[in-house]
Amino acid sequence: MKQTIKINKLSPSLNEWQRMHWGKRSKIKKLWQWLIKEQKPTKHGGSVIITYTRVSTQPMDLDGVGGSFKAIGDALVKEGIIEDDNPAIVTELRLRWEKSQTLKAQKSVIKIEDDAACK
Protein backbone atom coordinates (compact mmCIF):
# COMPACT_ATOMS: atom_id res chain seq x y z
CA MET A 1 0.00 0.00 0.00
CA LYS A 2 1.16 3.54 -0.83
CA GLN A 3 -0.17 6.89 0.27
CA THR A 4 0.84 10.53 0.05
CA ILE A 5 0.15 13.11 2.73
CA LYS A 6 0.46 16.76 1.65
CA ILE A 7 0.42 19.51 4.25
CA ASN A 8 0.67 23.19 3.33
CA LYS A 9 2.98 23.94 6.22
CA LEU A 10 6.65 23.44 7.10
CA SER A 11 7.91 21.89 10.29
CA PRO A 12 10.78 23.61 12.10
CA SER A 13 14.30 23.09 10.80
CA LEU A 14 16.90 21.31 12.89
CA ASN A 15 18.42 24.63 14.04
CA GLU A 16 15.01 26.03 15.04
CA TRP A 17 14.11 22.81 16.84
CA GLN A 18 17.30 22.80 18.92
CA ARG A 19 16.91 26.42 20.06
CA MET A 20 13.21 26.14 20.86
CA HIS A 21 11.76 26.15 24.38
CA TRP A 22 10.41 22.71 25.36
CA GLY A 23 6.89 24.12 25.76
CA LYS A 24 6.85 25.43 22.21
CA ARG A 25 8.21 22.10 20.90
CA SER A 26 5.34 20.34 22.65
CA LYS A 27 2.79 22.62 20.97
CA ILE A 28 4.37 22.06 17.56
CA LYS A 29 4.28 18.27 18.04
CA LYS A 30 0.55 18.48 18.86
CA LEU A 31 -0.07 20.75 15.85
CA TRP A 32 1.56 18.22 13.52
CA GLN A 33 -0.53 15.43 15.02
CA TRP A 34 -3.67 17.37 14.10
CA LEU A 35 -2.36 18.32 10.65
CA ILE A 36 -1.71 14.66 9.89
CA LYS A 37 -4.91 13.41 11.53
CA GLU A 38 -7.10 15.74 9.44
CA GLN A 39 -5.69 14.14 6.27
CA LYS A 40 -7.30 10.84 7.40
CA PRO A 41 -4.31 8.68 6.42
CA THR A 42 -4.41 4.89 6.30
CA LYS A 43 -2.48 2.99 8.95
CA HIS A 44 0.47 0.83 7.93
CA GLY A 45 1.29 -2.40 9.73
CA GLY A 46 4.90 -3.49 9.57
CA SER A 47 7.88 -2.04 7.74
CA VAL A 48 7.61 1.06 5.58
CA ILE A 49 9.66 3.29 3.31
CA ILE A 50 9.08 7.01 3.81
CA THR A 51 9.98 9.74 1.33
CA TYR A 52 9.85 13.18 2.93
CA THR A 53 10.01 16.20 0.63
CA ARG A 54 10.29 19.70 2.04
CA VAL A 55 9.15 22.25 -0.54
CA SER A 56 10.37 25.69 0.55
CA THR A 57 11.73 28.97 -0.76
CA GLN A 58 14.98 28.66 1.20
CA PRO A 59 17.48 25.96 0.21
CA MET A 60 18.21 23.42 2.92
CA ASP A 61 20.86 20.73 3.21
CA LEU A 62 19.76 17.17 3.90
CA ASP A 63 20.64 17.13 7.59
CA GLY A 64 18.36 20.14 8.02
CA VAL A 65 15.61 18.39 6.06
CA GLY A 66 16.06 15.32 8.26
CA GLY A 67 15.80 17.45 11.38
CA SER A 68 12.59 19.03 10.10
CA PHE A 69 11.10 15.52 9.85
CA LYS A 70 11.26 15.11 13.66
CA ALA A 71 7.80 16.52 14.44
CA ILE A 72 6.28 14.73 11.44
CA GLY A 73 7.79 11.34 12.30
CA ASP A 74 6.66 11.62 15.91
CA ALA A 75 3.14 12.56 14.78
CA LEU A 76 2.97 9.58 12.40
CA VAL A 77 3.78 7.27 15.33
CA LYS A 78 1.47 9.03 17.79
CA GLU A 79 -1.45 8.78 15.34
CA GLY A 80 -0.71 5.10 14.68
CA ILE A 81 0.01 5.61 10.97
CA ILE A 82 3.29 3.75 11.45
CA GLU A 83 4.13 1.44 14.36
CA ASP A 84 7.37 3.21 15.31
CA ASP A 85 10.02 5.41 13.74
CA ASN A 86 12.94 3.09 14.50
CA PRO A 87 15.00 1.47 11.69
CA ALA A 88 13.22 -1.89 12.11
CA ILE A 89 9.94 -0.24 11.01
CA VAL A 90 11.13 2.67 8.84
CA THR A 91 13.56 0.65 6.76
CA GLU A 92 14.34 3.61 4.51
CA LEU A 93 13.87 7.35 5.02
CA ARG A 94 14.41 9.28 1.80
CA LEU A 95 14.99 13.01 2.27
CA ARG A 96 14.39 15.53 -0.50
CA TRP A 97 14.24 19.29 -0.88
CA GLU A 98 12.48 21.15 -3.70
CA LYS A 99 12.37 24.84 -4.52
CA SER A 100 9.07 26.66 -3.97
CA GLN A 101 8.47 29.78 -6.03
CA THR A 102 6.33 31.48 -3.36
CA LEU A 103 5.87 31.36 0.41
CA LYS A 104 2.25 30.37 -0.13
CA ALA A 105 3.32 27.29 -2.15
CA GLN A 106 5.57 25.90 0.61
CA LYS A 107 4.55 22.46 1.84
CA SER A 108 5.56 19.13 3.31
CA VAL A 109 4.97 15.97 1.30
CA ILE A 110 5.16 12.59 3.05
CA LYS A 111 4.97 9.43 0.94
CA ILE A 112 4.60 6.20 2.86
CA GLU A 113 4.74 2.78 1.24
CA ASP A 114 4.85 -0.71 2.66
CA ASP A 115 8.29 -2.29 2.34
CA ALA A 116 7.61 -5.42 0.30
CA ALA A 117 11.17 -6.66 0.86
CA CYS A 118 10.41 -7.10 4.58
CA LYS A 119 7.27 -9.18 4.14
The whole-number average pLDDT for the span 48-54 is: 97
For the chain, how many structural domains are there in total?
1
Domain range for residue 13?
A: 2-118
Q: Which of 80, 53, 58 has its CA nearest to residue 68? A: 53
Residue 72: pLDDT over 80: yes
Q: How would DSSP label each residue in 24-77? A: HHHHHHHHHHHHHHTT-PPP--S-EEEEEEEEESS---HHHHHHHTHHHHHHHH
**Over residues 45-72, mean pLDDT:** 93
- Separation between Cα atoms, residue 86 and residue 66, nearest integer Å: 14
Q: Is 117's pLDDT higher than 80? A: no
pLDDT value at position 119?
A: 60
pLDDT for the residue numbered 16: 86
pLDDT tens-digit series, residues 10-25: 999 888 888 989 999 9
Read off the CATH number of the domain in which 98 is found: 3.30.1330.70
pLDDT at 81: 95
Residue 48: the pLDDT is 96
Nearest-angstrom CA–CA distance, 87 and 84:
9
pLDDT at 14: 81
Residue 98 confidence (pLDDT) above 70: yes
